[in-house]
Structure 1
Amino acid sequence: MENTKVVFKEEGIYGEVQLFSDENKAGKMDISVSDRKLRVYHTEVNSVHEGKGFAKLLLNQLVSYAIENHLKIIPLCPYVLAQFKRHPQEYAEVWGKKNDV
C-alpha cells in the first residue's frame, strides 16, 4: 500500500514529500518553504516503481500540502513544471508564477 507524507528538516525550511510503498521509501520530492512559497526542486521515483503513477501521488500530496498551508508552489522541478503547464486550470490555485519567485 502506498502512502505519502511531508517531512521537514533543518528547522522547517528544507524537506521532502516522501512516498512509501509497502513501508519502503519509493520516491521523494525535494522542497523548501519560505515567505509563503513552496519551492519544489526535484522529483524522484525509484526505478522499480517507474510507470506506476508514483510521481503523480507525490504531486498530489505536494498540492494538498500547499492548499492546506496557503502556499504558492514555485515549480523548479521539470516534472512539476510540465504537469502545471499541461493542466493549468487544475493547478491554478497553487501555481506561483515567475514574478512570485
Structure 2
Amino acid sequence: MNTEVQLKIDGNKGFFYIDVDGKQEAMMTFVFAGEKQIIIDHTEVNPENEGKGFGKKMVTKAVAYARENNIKIIPLCPFAKSVFDKVLDFRDVL
C-alpha cells in the first residue's frame, strides 16, 4: 500500500493528501498568508485509516515543504497543532 504524501497548490491555497489505490484517504488543507507563511486549517483522515499515522505523515511533509521554501507554518488545525506540540524538531518552521 503506497501512502506517499502528495501536494496540490491552487492559487493561494493547497492541500497535502494521501491516495491509496486511486482513492483519497487523507487530506490536510492550508492557505498562504502572504509569501512566507502557510496556515494549516484542517486535517481529515477517512475513519478506516485512523491510527495509521496518515495525519502525522502530512504534517511531516508540510514541515519539509516549509523548510525547502523558507516559509513558516501557523497550525490553526487542532490536530496539526498537537503534532507541533509533541515534535520538538518541527518547531523551527513555526
TM-score between the two structures when normalised by the length of structure 2: 0.90
Stretches (4+) displaced over 6 A? none
The Cα offsets for residues 6-41 of structure 1, whole Å up to 9 and x where unpaired, read as 1012x2x11111111233211001101132001100
For structure 1, the residue ranges without an aligned partner over 5 or more in a row are 96-101
Q: CA deviation at 1:90?
A: 1.1
Q: Quote the Cα distance in structure 2 between the aligned partners of 1:85 and 1:56.
A: 12
Q: CA deviation at 1:82?
A: 1.1
Q: Quote the Cα distance in structure 2 between the aligned partners of 1:31 and 1:22.
A: 24
Calculate percent identity across the aligned residue pairs.
Answer: 30
Alpha-carbon contact 2:56-2:83 (below 8 Å) kept? no
Q: CA deviation at 1:47?
A: 0.8
Per the alignment, residue 24 of structure 2 pairs with 25
Q: Equivalent residue of 1:2, what SS?
A: coil
Per the alignment, residue 70 of structure 2 pairs with 70
User: How large is the Cα RMSD of the aligned pairs?
Assistant: 1.1
Alignment of 1:4 with 2:5, yes or no, is yes
Per the alignment, residue 90 of structure 1 pairs with 89
Alpha-carbon contact 1:2-1:22 (below 8 Å) kept? no
Q: Quote the Cα distance in structure 1 between the aligned partners of 2:83 and 2:60.
A: 11
The one-letter amino acid paired with 2:8 is V
